[in-house]
């Protein structure tokens, strides 16, 4: 089993730090954040200057005003610390994929196997702390083998990296019981009994501890000493198929992004290939220096493990990534995978129909650029009504359920909306003698028809259509129809609907 490694971060003045960041004027004077509670105002958070004068969380604002006359009192924002911790945890994903919020003022990171990228545990922890401190947060951190230990160390011990379990134990034994994340009742009991360090009761018999202080104390002790596994609730579920590429220097050019993308794709496709899967959807995330994250997503029509093709799809989107000051981490995850059956190499390359890889790749490229709705393929549908005689196919592999009909003449150009025309028809139910369309009179020389197509009453109501194929004096062939029966008095019942070749 590999040794685990966790890092805890503790933001001692999370909210006041944030207020100072937002309002730099607050930096020089003591201030508190207040909340209303049962008609009085309580201090929700105090900045280090106010704390040095003895104003802590839970005091009344009136007391604070008495200690420091003219202290700045600002309204607390409800839910602020959760929001800030969430954002900070997301930011920490550049250091490790598993980051969790430890309410109300801390973060827990699973840093197993991450630190070598920064040149060792010490440098890694230092990098995190320096970056956060540079942003203006008062933060403490420690790194050790269990969550319990790191939590205790950040709050009560020293900011250190302690990989060795024996050392961890020694460190823990010296800390007060509060370092074990216990509830106030238990802490009071321990205090009353004069047990002021963990070392004073850690060696006691388990049954004794359980009877006096409850199961929770034992659980916390076990967690701290690594006898019981503790799990983090990651902020973002870790994608199974994810590749990460941290950059030594921030990347700000399209070429750089392209190279990073190529490396990630190669690594990801290699992994996917081994498991006989293909990528249907992939997402690239670029973590910027200023804390923002750029997303780009692509989708394919069929599962693929072809890295150059996926790169081509992403290539169209590289221009949309704004690197700003630079990107320090890229992650690429396959959000949707499908089984990919191995393709047999074609001995006779030639016409292979629709279901070939190059066509699917071309369509991916086209939909990637123009949106998914622009490509259509049609299948015959069981309707006589011309507009409804075809339906869009769902995917490339769908085959026509009924054969295409060739027994009735159908034009190659069908107008989306039939155009009203004026006609002269001698006898009812006869093809017209001439028709006028766009101020041109067409003498009809030859005609076929009528072909009566009834409207499907179960779908919509309206008159039927009598279709005629007609040819004018120039040889142009048209598809005309009369809507409904001949009435004689009604205008506008003839329409032009299509052109025959």
Residues binding other proteins (CB under 8 A): 349-354, 356-359, 361-363, 365-366, 369-370, 374-380, 386, 389-390, 393, 399-400, 404-406, 409-416, 445-448, 469-471, 473-478, 498-501
Q: What angle do CA 133, 181, 187 make, to 5 degrees?
A: 125
We find the least distance from the C-beta atom of residue 283 to other proteins, in angstroms, to be 24
CB of 402 to other proteins, least distance (A): 11
Which residues share a beta bridge with 442? 435
Pick between residue 266 and residue 471 the one whose CB is nearest to other proteins. Answer: 471
Question: Nearer to other proteins by C-beta: 70 or 403?
Answer: 403
Residue number with CB closer to other proteins (28 or 351): 351
| Contact in structure between 10 and 101 (CB atoms under 8 Å) | no
Nearest to 72 by CA among 89, 50, 41, 40: 50
Q: How far apart are CA 275 and CA 100, in angstroms?
A: 30
Nearer to other proteins among residue 198 and residue 470 (C-beta): 470
What is the 8-class DSSP label of residue 436?
E
How many angstroms separate the CA atoms of 233 and 220, rounded? 17
From CA 300, how far away is CA 312, in angstroms rounded? 11
**Nearest approach, Cβ of residue 319 and other proteins (Å):** 15
CB of 382 to other proteins, least distance (A): 13
Q: Closest approach of Cβ 381 to other proteins, in Å?
A: 10
User: Are the beta carbons of 97 and 238 closer than 8 angstroms?
Assistant: yes
CA distances from 480 to 229, 291, 410, 457 (A): 79, 64, 12, 22
Beta carbon nearer to other proteins, 52 or 352:
352
Tokens for 311?
A: 């790169």
What's the distance, CA 237 to chain centroid? 11
Go through 328-355 and write b for each residue having 16 or more CB atoms within 10 A of its CB, e for each that does not: bbbbbbbeebeebeeeeeeeeeeeeeee
Q: Which residue lies nearer to other proteins by CB, 227 or 446?
A: 446
In this complex, which beta carbon is closest to other proteins, that of residue 249 or of residue 407? 407
Task: Let me know if 237 is exposed, middle or buried by CB neighbors in 10 A (0-12, 13-18, 19+).
Answer: exposed
* Rounded Cα distance, 475 and 473, in Å: 6
Q: Cβ 387 to other proteins, closest distance in Å?
A: 10
- Specify the residue, 66 or 413, whose C-beta has the smaller distance to other proteins: 413
Q: What is the DSSP letter of 240?
A: S
Nearest-approach distance from CB 321 to other proteins, in angstroms: 21
Which residue in 258, 313, 317, 329 sits closest to 281, CA to CA? 313
- Closest contact distance (angstroms) between CB of 458 and other proteins is 22
């Amino acid at each position: 089993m590999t040794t685990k490694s966790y890092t805890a971060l503790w933001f001692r003045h999370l909210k006041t730090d944030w207020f100072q960041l937002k309002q730099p004027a607050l930096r020089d004077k003591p201030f508190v954040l207040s909340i209303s509670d049962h008609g009085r105002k309580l201090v929700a958070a105090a900045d280090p200057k106010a704390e040095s004068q003895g104003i802590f969380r839970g005091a009344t604002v009136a007391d604070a005003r008495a200690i420091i006359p003219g202290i700045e009192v600002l309204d607390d924002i409800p839910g602020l610390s959760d929001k800030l911790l969430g954002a900070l945890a997301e930011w920490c994903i550049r250091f490790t994929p598993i980051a969790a919020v430890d309410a109300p003022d801390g973060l827990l990171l699973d840093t197993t196997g991450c630190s070598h990228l920064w040149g060792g545990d010490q440098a890694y922890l230092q990098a995190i702390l320096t970056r956060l401190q540079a942003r203006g947060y008062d933060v403490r951190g420690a790194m050790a083998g269990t969550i319990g230990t790191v939590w205790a160390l950040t709050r009560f011990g020293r900011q250190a990296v302690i990989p060795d379990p024996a050392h961890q134990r020694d460190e823990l034994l010296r800390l007060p019981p509060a370092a074990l994340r216990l509830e106030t009742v238990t802490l009071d009991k321990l205090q009353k009994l004069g047990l002021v360090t963990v070392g004073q009761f850690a060696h006691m018999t388990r049954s004794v501890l359980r009877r006096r202080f409850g199961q929770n104390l034992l659980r916390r002790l076990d967690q701290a000493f690594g006898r019981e596994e503790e799990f983090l609730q990651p902020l973002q579920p870790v994608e199974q198929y994810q590749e990460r590429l941290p950059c030594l220097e921030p990347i700000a050019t399209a070429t750089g992004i392209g190279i990073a993308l190529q490396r990630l794709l190669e690594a990801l496709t290699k992994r996917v290939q081994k498991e006989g899967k293909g990528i249907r959807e992939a997402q690239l995330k670029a973590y910027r220096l200023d804390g923002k994250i750029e997303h780009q997503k692509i989708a394919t029509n069929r599962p693929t493990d072809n890295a150059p093709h996926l790169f081509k799809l992403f290539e169209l989107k590289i221009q949309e990534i704004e690197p700003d000051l630079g990107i320090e981490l890229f992650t690429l995850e396959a959000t949707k995978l499908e089984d990919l059956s191995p393709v047999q190499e074609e001995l006779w390359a030639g016409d292979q129909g629709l279901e070939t890889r190059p066509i699917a790749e071309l369509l991916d490229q086209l939909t990637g650029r123009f949106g998914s709705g622009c490509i259509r393929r049609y299948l015959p549908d069981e309707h006589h009504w011309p507009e409804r005689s075809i339906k869009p196919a769902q995917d490339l592999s769908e085959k026509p359920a009924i054969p295409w009909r060739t027994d009735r003449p159908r034009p190659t150009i069908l107008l989306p909306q039939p155009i009203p025309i004026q006609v002269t028809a001698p006898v009812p139910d006869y093809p017209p003698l001439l028709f006028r369309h766009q101020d041109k009179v067409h003498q009809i020389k030859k005609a076929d028809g009528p072909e009566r197509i009834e409207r499907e009453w179960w779908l919509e109501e309206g008159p039927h259509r009598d279709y005629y194929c007609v040819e004018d004096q120039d040889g142009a062939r048209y598809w005309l129809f009369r809507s409904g029966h001949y009435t004689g008095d009604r205008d506008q019942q003839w329409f032009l609907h299509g052109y025959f070749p």
